[in-house]
Amino acid sequence: MTSRKNNILLTAFMLLSLYGAGQHRYSALLDSVKETGFYSIAITPELSSYLKTDLSDLRIVDEKKQTIPFIIDIPPQRLIEHILFKHDIILKQERNLKTTLIIGNENKTEVSSFILELKNAGAKRTASLSGSDDNVHWYVILDSLKVQPLDENDRALYSQRIYIPPSEYRFFRLVINNEGKDPLNILHIRSAMSVQPENNPAPILFNPPPAVSQKDSGAYSLVKIMYARPHQFNLLQLRISSPFFYNRPGKLFTGLKGTLPSIWNSPGHHSITISSDDFSVHPFPLLKTDTLCLLIENGDNMPLHISSITTGLFKRNIITHLEKEKRYTLLLDDPLATAPAYDLEHFKDRISGIKELTYKKVTALPQPQNVTVDKRQISRWWIWPAVIFIILLLSLLTWKLTTDIKKDSGI
């Protein structure tokens, strides 16, 4: 009788183990380990596209397929900071119906936009921008750009941002064509520089450029951000080319259903504000999808013209102890995997001397022949009935054992 009960318990355990078993679909070979010690491996956008957002399906194995413990390290999630620089106007000249401004950039800081501060005027001008390192030989940057105020601006002063290709010239020359009219009154010229916060040299990793579509309908603009395969991201950066000033509410969605007004009134994944006064990245809760939808409420304003969109995610690393000259592999993408629990987590404060290690490339692992993931899931239709049967069987067995114990005890 005891042998039968043991066999039943063993069968139940094997069935439950089979139900929980998974199959990694991809792998990435780590670079060679030159010395024994602790190593940090960055979860790149490529790796994250093959993993769950919590990295619970990530494993490290050695040459013998033995699992190697690791911990997940997330650096402080501080965004890129933007600093405004005031540029010296070295020369301001009115000649031949044109205004010429020579703008200094003594430290040759990379400039991707200029912010012109002007006295308000209901006038529009065309201009050109060149760069030089010696203030003698000039090279064109933009040969046609517009300088103009807002259509409706009741302030005495206003600012206009001009986007340019990233440039590091020591001097910039802005030539404004006045077309026989009085010149604009430009007071100051500034630029914005993106810098990483101190003690956090690379907190953000950017995904490859997505495909983008924009549909403007009534008071809303629907922008779809699409990838060929799901990517992880929790940062969004927009580059708006027009209008010059804007302040719009936006909502992020991973799926759309209904009319745009009804979608707008639904919770969505996250809400953001798109403003010409804030050109930083927009953070939101981490997600993994191949399509992210941005719905913008325009109100009575003209739609925004979005020239580019970038997605990214805060940097994450895994830290593990590896031995010299051994070969290690990352295993990726197992839908049934759960997060491992390693002893190493209790000693993370004692880890030091960490070196960086990279991987070679992600490759697909052999899968059972003629069995796709979907078919494999379908072929497991019997699992739940089997689990229910096992639970009933164990309940019956427990009741029987309890009854036998009571009889033996004379209860």
CB contact at 8 A, 310 and 261: no
Query: Which has more pLDDT, 181 or 407?
Result: 181
The percentage of residues in the chain with a pLDDT greater than 70, rounded to a whole number, is: 78
Distances in Å between the Cα of 28 and the Cα atoms of 121, 160, 357 are 60, 48, 12
14 pLDDT higher than 70? no
Architecture in CATH of 81-195: Sandwich (2.60)
Q: What is the pLDDT of residue 185?
A: 85
CATH homologous superfamily of 204-314 equals Galactose-binding domain-like (2.60.120.260)
User: pLDDT of 325-380, one tens digit each?
Assistant: 999 999 999 999 999 999 999 998 999 999 999 999 999 998 876 544 454 444 45
Matching fold, domains 81-195 and 204-314 = yes
- Percent pLDDT > 90 in the chain is 50
Give, in order, the Cα–Cα distances in Å from 4 to each of 1, 11, 375, 403: 5, 11, 35, 17
pTM of the model: 0.61
The better pLDDT of the pair 105, 14 is held by: 105
Question: So what's the pLDDT on residue 367?
Answer: 80
pLDDT band at 212 (very low <50, low <70, confident <90, very high): very high
Average pLDDT score over the chain:
82
Least confident of 74-78, 196-200, 276-280: 196-200
Q: If pLDDT is split at 50, 70 and 90, which confidence band does 107 have?
A: confident
In whole angstroms, give the CA distance from residue 311 to residue 236.
Answer: 5
The 3-class secondary structure across the chain, one letter per residue, is: CHHHHHHHHHHHHHHHHHHHCCCCCEEEEECCCCCCEEEEEECCHHHHCCCCCCCCCCEEECCCCCECCEEEECCCCCCCEEEEEEECEEEEEEECCEEEEEEECCCCCCEEEEEEEEECCCCCEEEEEEEECCCCCCEEEEEEEEECCCCCCCCCEEEEEEEEEEECCCEEEEEEECCCCCCCCEEEEEEEEEECCCCCCCCEEECCCCEEEEEEECCEEEEEEEEEEEEEEEEEEEEEEECCCCEEEEEEECCCCCCHHHHHCCCCCEEEEEECCECCCEEEEEEEEEEEEEEEECCCCCCCEEEEEEEEEECCEEEEEECCCCCCEEEECCCCCCCCCCHHHHHHHHCCCCEECCEEEEEECCCCCCCCHHHHHHCCCCHHHHHHHHHHHHHHHHHHHHHHHHHHHCC
Half-sphere exposure for 156 (CA within 13 Å, toward CB): 1
Average pLDDT over residues 108-118: 82
Q: For residue 384, what pLDDT band results from cuts at 50, 70 and 90?
A: low
Of 374 and 234, the structure prediction assigns the larger pLDDT to 234
What is the per-residue pLDDT for 399?
A: 72
Q: What are the sequence ranges of the domains in the chain?
A: 1-23+367-411, 24-74+316-366, 81-195, 204-314
